[in-house]
Structure 1
Amino acid sequence: MGLYTITLPDVGEGIAEAELTEWQVAVGDEVAEDDVLGTVMTDKAAVEVPSTVAGKVVWLCGEPGDVIAIGDKFIQIEVEGDGNDTAAPAPAKAPEPKAAEPEETGTADADADQPAPRATGAETPATAKTPAAEPHRAGTTVRREPLAKGEKPLASPAVRRRAQDAGIDLRLVGGSGPAGRILHEDLDAYVEHGPVTGRGGARLPATGTREVKVVGMRRKIAEKMALSWSRIPHITIVEEIDVTALEELRAKLNAAHGAERGKLTVLPFVMRAIVNAVAAQPEMNARYDDDAGVIHQSDAVHIGIAAQTPAGLTVPVARHVEAASLWENAAELARLAEAARTGKATREELSGSTITITSLGPLGALATTPIINHPEVAIVGINKMTTRPMWDGEAFRPRKMMNISCSFDHRVIDGWDAAVFVQKLKTLLETPALMFVEE
């Protein structure tokens, strides 16, 4: 038997380190070639790291949330043959001498509150603990409610294979590992005590709390929002827009061309309106380097589209919107949204925007106060559309109304200029034909 070391591969040009966000395996698991070992994140792009060999996991480099340098040891696997790690494992660090302590009272679980140590590079395959051998830690919260349909339970490949062989639905198994991860002892408990629901499908009462470490996408979002809010003095303008004519045009275009070109949503029209508006006010289509005190105005319009994904909020970027048609922008939006939802968006697709659109769709409120996507200087928020009676000078008539909420960096955008920009968007969206007229 030999020891095979897999290092963290190059996950992008110019990337020196990545954050470990999730392990798909645990010490003691058997893995096959091409099995996913774990996931790392750089900027906002998540990358799965596959195994290049088959064998038994004996060492992991760290915990989710740790930052690992490219080329550093990522995982060690015991394989048939000699492996690739010829260096002898580092000797185990001798424990520091303890000060004299009072005589123990004989309590068997005196250290139960302490987390079980992770296997390190100093451990040999013979001494590395498997998940099945780890004791259940005191204070650990067990997930007691079944997962929703389609929700993927967290478990190692070995646990999944064992559950599959036993015909056990992992969604019904309570997980006592980090973030509700299902361990071997959880399967043992399931076999002995049954699923996490009571008799007749009644749910058991929820107990306890758990700590959720902020890692990966959620940490990136937290850092980005904190940076934007701490550095940028926001000014937000909310305007009411009559989109009845826009909706009539959209319906006609979809009826005439939707079958062969795809359906248009409101967003491609908003993108076209932004292109027209920033042509007159290029200071809105810019990025502010506040450290250098320089504003970079862009001729190209690269619009970020805030998109909600299972991992959190991402902002994929539609590039050169100024050179694209409505349907080209609609197709690009669909492609970027799918890439973001599946975690396949590249670093290039998640960076470089010059202005951003954020929308909650039908869940949106009457108004929002969007936070600027630093280092941009403006963001356009789309709120939900409703039909309301509006006075036209003669009578109240039903009109489709929608509010937009636009935030600006008040260090470089004055209130008057912000109001002019919002009124330009209002005019274009209320009279959509103007979007297609050359001035």
Structure 2
Amino acid sequence: MIEFRLPDVGEGMHEGEITKWLIKEGDFVKQDQPVLEVQTDKVNAELTSPTTGVITKILFAEGETVEVGTTLYLIQGENEVAATAAEPEKVVAAPQARAVEAASIQTAPTAGRGRALATPYVRQLARELSINLEDVIGTGPAGRVTESDLKPYSDGEQVQVEQPAKAAVSEPQKEGEERIPLKGIRKKIAEHMMKSVSLIPHVTHMDELEMDAVKEWRDRLKPYAETKNVKLTFLPFFIKAIVIALKEFKTLNASIDEKTNEIVLKHYYHIGIATDTKEGLIVPVVKHADQKSIFELAAEISGLAARAKEGSLTLDQITGSTFTISNVGPIGGLYATPIINHPEAAILALHKMEPRMVVRDWEGVIRLMMNMSLSFDHRLIDGVTAVRFTNRIKELLENPNLLFAEMK
């Protein structure tokens, strides 16, 4: 009998919520057949069967949250099923022989290793490291290869089935109240926000900028973008301006390693785009934004946003950001104090664009204005640095010719 335990699908997850069972007890499944869907704080993962056999026991119901390493279900391997079916036909000489044989059926692992068992994340990592999974001895459930097994290799050990813990009894619901379990992505967002505000001394600097010139540029490029099936928004222009400024103000593209007490300056530019979904706030990441054109950025942003709303982002697409943009402008709002996406050093919120009366050369004129709010880690960044950073962004966006001249 094989116990399938919840694996770590990457990035050190601790728990997952079972969102859907794709099988039921008694079903015959094939190796690598999808069995259940699990939602973590990072991604929605589809977990597959480690072997061909029969599902004998499901230990958790949909909606329950379980920790990594907890047994989710039991599966009787194909060879064990055949042995069990043939049991009535056998002539057993003594009760002792029956007892020994039954014990061996219960404890023997699946005969024949066959195709290595691993999650899609581990398979991808093995390909990147040029490791043949068939050569790796897995330490996970049913011999599943885990990330730690890749380097170095080690033998696994059989473990006992854990019984699911009883759910905690919630407080009684009062009249006129509705209680909704804090779980899944919403729970992870709450934990991440608490960690950020408890570790990082936040300061928010606010400013405004004229958008008329960059809007004119965008409008002129839009027809050409459409010929490439690209939806051209203002966000790619902001990303380009931010990357240029980050290269000049390096502490805004940095983090603090609390364990080693070191400042980590990052010479790569992975820009997170905070995206609103029905499940909560997800932050897809545009990797190496400094190496991509305006049109490439626009296409990638659209693709990531669509996958975020579908819940189909991969782990690589939502990790590794070095600076985050929160674009709330389409919804509205004047200013905000955004919470930094730990362990980053800063986050920039973009607000709604609107025509306003402003004074230029001692005369009142109407300009298309936008407010922006920069929250920054005051351990790394002084107020004057934050102001200079946003001033540089303003300079580039209010003078798009300068923005294009600075691009590399």
TM-score by length of 1: 0.65
Rate the CA distance shift 1:239–1:122 in 2: closer, same or farther, 3 A.
Answer: closer
User: How much has 1:391 moved relative to structure 2?
Assistant: 3.1
1:234-313 paired onto structure 2 within 5 Å: 234-313=202-281
| One-letter code aligned to 2:341 | N
Structure 2, unaligned runs of 5 or more: 85-104, 108-160, 165-170
1:12-91 paired onto structure 2 within 5 Å: 12=9, 18-25=14-21, 33=29, 37-50=35-48, 58-61=57-60, 64-69=64-69, 72-76=70-74, 82-83=80-81, 86-87=105-106
Q: Is the 8 A contact 1:287 1:295 kept in 2?
A: yes
Rate the CA distance shift 1:60–1:437 in 2: closer, same or farther, 3 A.
Answer: same
Rate the CA distance shift 1:326–1:242 in 2: closer, same or farther, 3 A.
Answer: same
Whole-Å separation in 2 of the counterparts to 1:18 and 1:410: 30
Structure 1, unaligned runs of 5 or more: 89-119, 124-138, 142-206
Whole-Å separation in 1 of the counterparts to 2:18 and 2:10: 22
User: How much has 1:54 moved relative to structure 2?
Assistant: 8.3
1:390 aligns with 2:358: yes
Write the deviation string for residues 87-110 of structure 1: whole angstroms up to 9, x where unpaired.
Answer: 29xxxxxxxxxxxxxxxxxxxxxx
**Which residue of the partner structure matches residue 131 of structure 1?**
none
Rate the CA distance shift 1:297–1:27 in 2: closer, same or farther, 3 A.
Answer: closer
Q: Is the 8 A contact 2:269 2:290 kept in 1?
A: yes
| One-letter code aligned to 1:59 | I
Whole-Å separation in 2 of the counterparts to 1:425 and 1:351: 25
| One-letter code aligned to 2:68 | I
User: How much has 1:49 moved relative to structure 2?
Assistant: 2.4
1:87-126 paired onto structure 2 within 5 Å: 87=106
Write the deviation string for residues 264-303 of structure 1: whole angstroms up to 9, x where unpaired.
Answer: 1111001000111112111111121133221111121111
- Select the residue among 330, 334, 340 that pairs with 1:372: 340
Whole-Å separation in 2 of the counterparts to 1:371 and 1:32: 48
Superposition RMSD in Å: 3.5
Rate the CA distance shift 1:12–1:29 in 2: closer, same or farther, 3 A.
Answer: closer
Whole-Å separation in 2 of the counterparts to 1:254 and 1:49: 42
User: How much has 1:229 moved relative to structure 2?
Assistant: 0.4
Percent of aligned pairs with the same amino acid: 34
Rate the CA distance shift 1:209–1:83 in 2: closer, same or farther, 3 A.
Answer: farther
Write the deviation string for residues 301-338 of structure 1: whole angstroms up to 9, x where unpaired.
Answer: 11111111222111111111111111111111122222
TM-score by length of 2: 0.69
- Select the residue among 183, 188, 191 that pairs with 1:223: 191
Q: Is the 8 A contact 1:18 1:41 kept in 2?
A: no
Q: Is the 8 A contact 2:6 2:67 kept in 1?
A: no
Write the deviation string for residues 104-160 of structure 1: whole angstroms up to 9, x where unpaired.
Answer: xxxxxxxxxxxxxxxx9889xxxxxxxxxxxxxxx999xxxxxxxxxxxxxxxxxxx
Whole-Å separation in 1 of the counterparts to 2:163 and 2:10: 32
Write the deviation string for residues 26-59 of structure 1: whole angstroms up to 9, x where unpaired.
Answer: 9976757488654334551221224577867743
Is the partner of 2:226 in helix, strand or coil? helix
Write the deviation string for residues 62-108 of structure 1: whole angstroms up to 9, x where unpaired.
Answer: 77222131xx53113689995499429xxxxxxxxxxxxxxxxxxxx
User: How much has 1:221 moved relative to structure 2?
Assistant: 0.8
User: How much has 1:231 moved relative to structure 2?
Assistant: 1.0
1:8 aligns with 2:27: no
Task: Name the count of aligned residue pairs.
Answer: 323
1:214 aligns with 2:233: no
Larger helix share, 1 or 2: 2
Q: Is the 8 A contact 1:19 1:67 kept in 2?
A: yes
Q: Is the 8 A contact 1:428 1:435 kept in 2?
A: yes
Whole-Å separation in 2 of the counterparts to 1:361 and 1:38: 38
User: How much has 1:344 moved relative to structure 2?
Assistant: 2.2
User: How much has 1:406 moved relative to structure 2?
Assistant: 0.4
